[in-house]
Structure 1
Amino acid sequence: VNAELEDSRLWEAFAAVGTEMIITKSGRRMFPSLKLRLSGLEPDKRYCVYLTVEPVADCRWKFQSSRWLVVGKGEPAPAHRCFMHPDSPASGAHWLKQPVSFLRMKLTNNGMDPHGHIILNSMHKYRPRLYVAEIEESAWLHSRFVAYGSFDFPLAEFIAVTAYQNQRITQLKIDCNPFAKGFRVTGK
């Protein structure tokens, strides 16, 4: 089993500047969103696909003098959550036919979030990790995970923020995200 990040050129452009993702109490979608291409699955077997967002290191960051700097020890990690892809479980053929999109996944800083969003600390660095679990279904109609594959995506690392810190990231989001109209000068 293998997984590759789609839109790698877009992710490279963001990584070159220092990717930031907004987190809010109500939850915010990522941009760029995670789209992953899977390979090596058996078409007739069933799989669950889910994502976690994991801390890269136990430190707090600050944007200062046009760059990100480590400024101290990180806050305790929030409750670890995973985002199960809404198509799970599905056949290998289903997962292989097109990129797996996590467009619906939202990031939040609300530690009491009741909606299943991924809870993160602001000013901490994170990396998405994908899990692929094969499902074995018994004659008793009970399912269990029998095999795991996990993949992380260093190119998709980001710092969680409540407001963009780097003006270059703000501009890149405006230029590349058709839904970033709130930041455009014209408001269109």
Structure 2
Amino acid sequence: EGLLKPVELQCLTWYVYFADSEQSTGSDTEVLAERTSCSFGSHSDLTSGGSGPQPPPPSSMEEIQVELQCADLWKRFHDIGTEMIITKAGRRMFPAMRVKITGLDPHQQYYIAMDIVPVDNKRYRYVYHSSKWMVAGNADSPVPPRVYIHPDSLASGDTWMRQVVSFDKLKLTNNELDDQGHIILHSMHKYQPRVHVIRKDFSSDLSPTKPVPSGDGVKTFNFPETVFTTVTAYQNQQVKLCAFKLLLCGVFIKPLVCFLCL
């Protein structure tokens, strides 16, 4: 007659009915348990004593993804040539950078930071009769490096993934002697914002006045549609009109309604 034998799996014991070969009419085994999410692994899983539930491995930096929020709005500006106003006292970005982060280890601690780097080594000027930006010469001398560390840092991966990460408090300035922590940029130059995810164990060199550290615990993201040209006043009237419409719509409260206004 058949014999019930316990078989140890990683998460529970299944009982397998081993039928006598003379009485077997089909498969040599008949499982006397309901199917669950568990499954047979290698042969060693069936012969070893089982090690019990294993915690999932921590998420690697390669799994981290950052999605730009209001990407359609950024693309709308990009298509006509985004301009970003900078002042001596500091001016907030418009539109502001907002991102959604996924793939973080919920239990790991991270810093989220942003810097803005030159696209090229050129200086530009706006030609009104053709409504285009043209190269006007070589770029000005490099400015001191600045990094904006998100004020919610340091936080767990779970905390970051449960919110939209907004950089709406970041300010841009053309004051090279700025001591307020604003991002220092030259006027009439093209720049690319970058978002950095920095694991706690790679943050020892993280500073608002130093370049972002590099290494396996740092992952950087940029979005081509967020490239902009710095100005002290809007040059392109289309950009000025779009910005004005957004302000009228109340972009900070109703971004989707604002986009429909464009």
TM-score by length of structure 1 reads: 0.89
> What residue in structure 1 maps to residue 239 of structure 2?
169
> What residue in structure 2 maps to residue 147 of structure 1?
217
> What residue in structure 2 maps to residue 129 of structure 1?
194
User: Which aligned pairs between 1:1-188 and structure 2 lie closer than 5 A?
Assistant: 1-64=64-127, 65-136=130-201, 144=204, 147-177=217-247, 178=250
Amino acid at match of 2:219: G
SS at match of 2:73: helix
TM-score by length of structure 2 reads: 0.64
C-alpha separation between the residues in 1 aligned to 2:162 and 2:65?
A: 14
Q: C-alpha deviations, 1:104-145, integer Å up to 9, x for none?
A: 0000000000100000000000000111111139xxxxx747
Unaligned stretches of 5+ in structure 2?
1-63, 206-215, 253-262
C-alpha separation between the residues in 2 aligned to 1:119 and 1:168?
A: 26
C-alpha separation between the residues in 2 aligned to 1:77 and 1:179?
A: 34
Q: How many residues align?
A: 175
Per-residue deviation at 1:84? 0.2
Amino acid at match of 1:176: L
C-alpha separation between the residues in 1 aligned to 2:183 and 2:222?
A: 16
SS at match of 1:81: coil
Amino acid at match of 1:20: E
C-alpha separation between the residues in 1 aligned to 2:195 and 2:78?
A: 19
SS at match of 1:136: helix
C-alpha separation between the residues in 2 aligned to 1:48 and 1:17?
A: 33
Per-residue deviation at 1:88? 0.5
C-alpha separation between the residues in 1 aligned to 2:165 and 2:251?
A: 21
Amino acid at match of 2:232: T
C-alpha separation between the residues in 2 aligned to 1:136 and 1:112?
A: 31
% of aligned pairs identical? 43
Of stretches 68-77 and 18-27 in structure 1, the one that deviates more from structure 2 is 68-77
C-alpha separation between the residues in 2 aligned to 1:164 and 1:179?
A: 19
Q: C-alpha deviations, 1:52-76, integer Å up to 9, x for none?
A: 0000000001110201111111101
Amino acid at match of 1:45: Q
**Greater share of strand residues, 1 or 2?**
1
The structure-2 alpha-carbon separation of the partners of 1:63 and 1:49, relative to structure 1 and needing over 3 Å to count, comes to same
C-alpha separation between the residues in 1 aligned to 2:65 and 2:157?
A: 12
C-alpha separation between the residues in 2 aligned to 1:30 and 1:136?
A: 30
Alpha carbons 2:66, 2:100 under 8 Å: kept: yes
